[in-house]
Structure 1
Amino acid sequence: MNKHKLRSRFWGSRRSERPRRARLPLLRRAYRWLQWSVIAAAGGVVLLAGLLLYIRAQALPAATVSQTSQLLDLQGNVIDTFHGGENRSSVALGEMSPHVIAATIAVEDRRFYEHDGFDTRSMARAALVNLESRSRRQGASTITQQLARNLYLSHARTWTRKVKEAAYTLQLEMNYSKDEILEMYLNQIYYGHGAYGIEAAARLYFGKSAAQLSLAESAMLAGIPKGPKYYSPYMNMKKAKDRQHVILTLMTEQGRITPEAADAAYAELLALRTLGGDAEDGFASYFRDYVRLVAIDRLGIDEQLLEQGGVRVYTTLDTGMQRAAEQAVAAGFPEQSELQTALISIDPRNGYIKAMVGGRDYAANQYNRVFATTRQPGSSFKPLVYLTALEQGGMTPVSRFRSEPTTFVYDDGRRTYEPGNYNDKYFNEEIDMRTAIASSDNIYAVSTIMAVGPDKVIETARRLGIESAMEPVPSLALGTFPVSPYEMASAFTAIAGGGVRYEPTAILRIVGPGGRVLYEADPQPQQVIDPAHAYVLTSLMQSVFEPGGTGHRVAATLKRPVAAKTGTTASDAWMVGFTPELTTAVWVGYDKGRSIDAVEAHRAAPIFAAYTEAALAALPPKAFEMPRGVVSRYIDSESGLLATAACGERRLESFVAGTEPVELCLSDPDAGADGTGGADGDGGADSSASDAAQERHRSWWGHLKRWWGE
């Protein structure tokens, strides 16, 4: 075989064998590739399963969600809120309008109940839109993704944040139901103007709860979170309405509402609240600050919990009375006046603080003058002097001192005190305690404190709750030592309450998240005055409003029994008084202690009277209940002895049993042992209340007319 044939056979044989030999390695490689693919897929599944198990086992980060705390009045109405920058009140999904739920899902995540945290269809659609427009025009975040971002992450556009967001989204879906996720989301998102969550938004924009939102209101609110500044109806109503229309259209297309319902909702005129101009803005602001102070400083409630913990603080405030107080103060001054005021009102039956006004303009000055301890109470302090005298047993309503310029010697004769009456007017004769209280006679008051001892008066003041510094000197009788309106009101509640005193209370209960009670008040009554002494003093203080009394100019405003005492110093004007249901202290003056003129000195009483009548307008007038241990007697106004038919002016007077006069004003064999017209015991009188008042007017009114030179 020649050389060419051999080569031909050799190469021909090689060519015929190469395809068969080549196919074997290819099959092997394909098989190996398939093996590795299966292994890789299985490994991936295992890794994915492991990753999912790992993610599920991990605890979600602690999310600090600020919750708005609420301040509630005595009737359970929300009057104000505490919040650390975020106004938020979480509510259950069942407490939200179904319209707002449907509107939110329609615009934010239409397949929310179908996906597992990531909506791949929406992601693909958004990617195509963005690719086509060469910009990020459309997002595809689900409600769960948004919640994960809002709860645990910043909004920075980084790969690290995106990876964490995906992990937290999976964890949320694994650990919570769809309804729970939706509830958290609707309580978390921002609706503009400081409102976080649908409840705060509903109250901010429409003044109602989330459960009460209509379809039109729900569609409007659901559109705001995409751009709170851009879609807020307060910022741009046209854009807000356009956004509302988009949402209503989506709801229609998704079969959530009918076209007719969408058209009606879009045409509805929304009753938006005035942003920042609500009539209740600033309402009870001084009381709010006081409650916050008490909760933190006295009750030990954590400040952060109070500001951001969603607690509910139930208070004693009566909204109607508070409104009456603010209106009385507003009407009590000329518009340009720099005078300031304070008013505090307490229910003597339980110590509840019903109203508090710490100044004329909270926005301008937040200083609460109710607690100012730099104000001299003046003559409004005198009832404590007379109470001490009645309790000592040495004085009664008919005890007499001479009203004339007097020099009092004290401190073992080393010191003297020369008080004077207002405008140097004196009776220049003996007067009794009722006349002294009505006319606010200073000489009688100092004579009384000299008789009972200033130290005893201080003891009485301490028993009634006054803690401010005092010295046992004669001038104490004239209220020369500063006390706060709060202390004065607190002290007078014991007189109004028949001798029973409660510590003034502003907070009834504090309830934390989940309904846990953090604090509950337990007011304890203290019998600090004998009921008979309290009643006799109350009867005497009613004379302030009778003709010639220092409060007579406002008597026509008052349509019910009221006991009170005025007080005037060079820089302070007061009226402190009470009915059986309400004790009120009113102070008027200047912040820097500037002197007040004669007109300004009379501004406290009208505020007191206007407030008292308005606050109690819904209640019928109620007389002070006479307790056991009180007797009534007709007495001769001139002598203070039991009246007879032969006496001159007479009046019906109340006494603590055993201290009533027993002598007759004249020797009259026809008069009974107890005097003509006498009345006995434990409280009953033998004539009507109108007869008694008429007799009282006739008696001491003659003294006052002579005193005033009429």
Structure 2
Amino acid sequence: MAERHPLSSPPNEEALRELWSYRLWLRLRRMFKWTLWCLAALLAASGALFLYALLVPLPAVPIYQTTTVYSADGQPLYDLHGQGINRRVIPLSEIPKTVIQATIAVEDRSFYQHFGFNPKRMLKAVWVNATSMELNQGASTITQQLARNLYLSHEKTWERKIKEALYALQLEVQLSKEEILSRYLNQIYYGESAYGIQAAAETYFGKNARDLTPAEATLLAGIPKNPTRYSPFRDLDAAKKRQRVVLQSMVEAGYLTPEQMETIAHTPVTLKKKQEKETIAPYFLDYILREAQKTYGIDRDLLQNGGLQIFTTLDPAIQKAAEQAVRELMPKQPKLQVALAAIEPSTGAIRALVGGRHYEDSQFNRTLALRQPGSSFKPFLYLAALENGWTTTTLQTSEPTVFTFGSQEYRPRNFADQYANRPITMREAVRTSDNIYAIKTHLELGPEKLVEMARRLGIQRPLQPLPSLALGSEEVTPLEMASAYATIAGQGKRVAPTAIVKITDATGKTLAEARPVRQQVIQPQQAYLITSLLQAPFEPGGTAHRISQRLSRPVAGKTGTTDFDAWMVGFTPQLSTAVWVGYDQPRKLSTAESRIAAVIWADFMERAHADRPVEPFVPPEGIISAYVDPQTGQLAGPNCPTVSLEVFATGTEPKQICQVHNPQAKPPAQKKEEETPRPPWRRWIDWFH
């Protein structure tokens, strides 16, 4: 028999076991190495991820906030939402504890334990989504919700989920839990265009977040889950059911006892009445936004979305009086337009502004439109004359007159070709708005004097020194006219018109602040004299007499009429107002249309002063009164048929008694100068002579 080869002998069981053990050890060794490598890689990846989250700055995201415009009494006038977002950021310290606890309990109970995401909730969500092959199950923490709202869209994709987790980690690493919570409560949407808890408190309850009751706070905490469904404005029952869920979550989280839950659940809440906020002074809003950009250099985007606080000079009561007067007294002719500007003389504050009859139809602000002021410009001429030697009794003959300038002729006419055909005083010229008197005074004075006076009073437009300037041929704006008359009402002190008092940013830091400066541009005596003259149009025979019965206090003012423009500009010591009526496109006014401005002015002034004391025009020092004969401008004598009490700057009053009606009258005795006592010897010498 042949011998068997040793290698062909069957292995024994012990050898097999050794071989199997060896192979198992090799596998375990390899697995251990791979595990170590995987752990090392995982640690490296985790470290890299942590470093990324720590070192890479979060994207800069603008937080749009509501800018609020306030009236002069500190009440909110407008809320500006440039992106349709109503938000006011407040610190966490101003958010009630109940809001914080309710939000954490219902949205993310392990908020203070996780690092941006909850693994248990994520695994559950992954399982549900994987089995359904859809992304229906959410597992977002408060941090993830904040990341989504700040940096991402709300589309349901795996890519968005991964980015959300990464941003959440960055937020957790770079911010404290309090900072995350603060940003979340100021960012999240509560429905009805309200973003953040402060806007939500204002929207639903008309109060600040810090004043929310536990019942109100827990009702709001339930809204972000589904703002449309749980808005108490839309469905209060659904909102209350959601509140129950919030309260139960707070009990489970240990924030409330069951008894406290029931007490809060049964506490009634009073919702703010949901109504369209009345829009007041829309032209004024446009004006202040323009001024904020032009005067103070505030960026438009910052104005609309920066959470600014703009404090203005607008008086709501006076503004409503203006809007009511325009609404009730303007005729139904839709194309006939109106402008009204009211300024406080002592401060230059714009208290009311109406730029047109219907803002919805036309946003053009006519208080800034250039129009011919007509005779309402004459007071500036007479002020210049009073400064240069004229008095209230200076005479000029009112008669048809042709003025020649080189080869050109100028033929001004009075209204309806009515002339006194005799010498008249400045007061009568103002009362009847005599054009001949104005042109003669203008030319004798020198046209440049009127240009200079108008500029001093506040007319900023370049004016041509033409003969017709005395009749208001150069265009100015209603706001300029109200301001110029305010200078007269302020006893000659000029203050530039002010609409914005102060602008602060979202943190309360002052960005801009008005600093009005009062400058004496005309003497108080001349200001009082022209004020006295401007009361004459309201007297019988005056151009404004027809509205005098509408007025119950001393006023001063002047009408102005051209073929295309009707004006009434005037003042009390408290308020200076200009009203213009006309068409945007050149179109002649009817007689009835030309009288509307004065009626609106009178009605508005009465309404605006309804709660104000009656203040007279008080003469300053240096004013003297004297009885004069208006036919001669001289001191009245016993035989003068007409006598009027006139005012003068001391030293300019007439000294001569009227010789026309009192030819034998002697001039008033002049006070003799006291003689210097003479020595006795001098008196003896005089006696011998």
TM-score, L = length of structure 1: 0.85
1:396 equivalent in alignment to 2:391: yes
Alignment partner of 1:592 out of 561, 582, 585: 585
Could you tell me which residue of structure 2 aligns to residue 59 of structure 1? Answer: 57
2:585 partner SS:
coil
1:168 equivalent in alignment to 2:167: yes
Q: C-alpha distance in 1, partners of 2:525/2:326? A: 35
Could you tell me which residue of structure 2 aligns to residue 291 of structure 1? Answer: 288
Could you tell me which residue of structure 1 aligns to residue 684 of structure 2? Answer: none
Q: CA 1:512/1:271 → structure 2, altered by over 3 Å: closer, same or farther?
A: closer
* Contact preservation (8 Å) 2:412, 2:435: no
* Contact preservation (8 Å) 2:547, 2:599: yes
**What amino acid maps onto 2:262 in structure 1?**
E
Could you tell me which residue of structure 2 aligns to residue 271 of structure 1? Answer: 272
Could you tell me which residue of structure 1 aligns to residue 405 of structure 2? Answer: 411
Q: C-alpha distance in 2, partners of 1:416/1:157? A: 81
List, as ranges, runs of 4+ consecutive aligned residues in structure 1 with deviation greater than 6 Å: 1-4, 131-134, 667-671
Could you tell me which residue of structure 1 aligns to residue 534 of structure 2? Answer: 541
Query: After the TM superposition, which residues 51-450 of structure 1 pair with which residues of structure 2 at under 5 Å, given as runs?
Result: 51-85=49-83, 86-126=85-125, 136-234=135-233, 239-251=238-250, 253-256=252-255, 258-265=260-267, 267-274=268-275, 277-279=276-278, 281=279, 283-335=280-332, 337-373=334-370, 375-393=371-389, 395-404=390-399, 406-412=400-406, 414-421=408-415, 423-450=416-443
Shift of 1:37: 2.9
Shift of 1:526: 2.8
Q: C-alpha distance in 1, partners of 2:563/2:159? A: 72
* Contact preservation (8 Å) 2:201, 2:209: yes
Q: CA 1:110/1:453 → structure 2, altered by over 3 Å: closer, same or farther?
A: same
Could you tell me which residue of structure 2 aligns to residue 698 of structure 1? Answer: none
Shift of 1:33: 3.4
Q: CA 1:322/1:167 → structure 2, altered by over 3 Å: closer, same or farther?
A: same
Could you tell me which residue of structure 2 aligns to residue 506 of structure 1? Answer: 499
1:609 partner SS:
helix
2:90 partner SS:
coil
1:190 partner SS:
coil
* Contact preservation (8 Å) 1:500, 1:529: yes
Question: Please, which moves more after superposition, 239-248 or 174-183?
Answer: 239-248
Could you tell me which residue of structure 2 aligns to residue 522 of structure 1? Answer: 515
Q: C-alpha distance in 1, partners of 2:286/2:560? A: 28
**What amino acid maps onto 1:402 in structure 2?**
T
Q: C-alpha distance in 1, partners of 2:50/2:560? A: 78
Could you tell me which residue of structure 2 aligns to residue 684 of structure 1? Answer: none
Runs of 5+ consecutive residues of structure 2 not aligned to the other structure: 672-689
Q: C-alpha distance in 2, partners of 1:511/1:538? A: 39
Q: C-alpha distance in 2, partners of 1:653/1:263? A: 78
**What amino acid maps onto 2:77 in structure 1?**
I
Could you tell me which residue of structure 2 aligns to residue 696 of structure 1? Answer: none
1:273 partner SS:
coil
Q: CA 1:594/1:627 → structure 2, altered by over 3 Å: closer, same or farther?
A: same
Could you tell me which residue of structure 2 aligns to residue 625 of structure 1? Answer: 618
**What amino acid maps onto 2:442 in structure 1?**
I
Shift of 1:507: 2.3
Shift of 1:672: 5.7
| CA offsets 1:76-97 (integer angstroms, 9 cap, x no match) | 3332233321333212122334
Q: CA 1:577/1:674 → structure 2, altered by over 3 Å: closer, same or farther?
A: farther
Could you tell me which residue of structure 1 aligns to residue 481 of structure 2? Answer: 488
Q: C-alpha distance in 1, partners of 2:623/2:586? A: 43
Q: CA 1:68/1:48 → structure 2, altered by over 3 Å: closer, same or farther?
A: same
1:140 partner SS:
coil
Q: CA 1:217/1:597 → structure 2, altered by over 3 Å: closer, same or farther?
A: farther
**What amino acid maps onto 2:272 in structure 1?**
A
**What amino acid maps onto 2:410 in structure 1?**
T
Percent identity between matched residues is 47
Runs of 5+ consecutive residues of structure 1 not aligned to the other structure: 676-710
* Contact preservation (8 Å) 1:359, 1:367: yes
Q: CA 1:611/1:146 → structure 2, altered by over 3 Å: closer, same or farther?
A: same
* Contact preservation (8 Å) 2:355, 2:366: yes
2:340 partner SS:
strand
Question: Please, which moves more after superposition, 485-494 or 311-320?
Answer: 311-320
Q: C-alpha distance in 2, partners of 1:238/1:592? A: 56
2:625 partner SS:
strand
- C-alpha RMSD of the superposition: 3.2
Could you tell me which residue of structure 2 aligns to residue 604 of structure 1? Answer: 597
* Contact preservation (8 Å) 2:655, 2:668: no
* Contact preservation (8 Å) 2:67, 2:305: yes
Q: CA 1:468/1:38 → structure 2, altered by over 3 Å: closer, same or farther?
A: closer
Q: CA 1:434/1:252 → structure 2, altered by over 3 Å: closer, same or farther?
A: farther
| CA offsets 1:199-254 (integer angstroms, 9 cap, x no match) | 33333444333333344544444344334444445555555555445444544554
Shift of 1:513: 4.6
Shift of 1:268: 3.3
Shift of 1:380: 0.9
Q: CA 1:334/1:156 → structure 2, altered by over 3 Å: closer, same or farther?
A: same
TM-score, L = length of structure 2: 0.87
* Contact preservation (8 Å) 1:550, 1:566: yes
Question: Please, which moves more after superposition, 166-175 or 186-195?
Answer: 186-195
* Contact preservation (8 Å) 1:643, 1:664: yes
2:535 partner SS:
helix
Shift of 1:190: 2.8
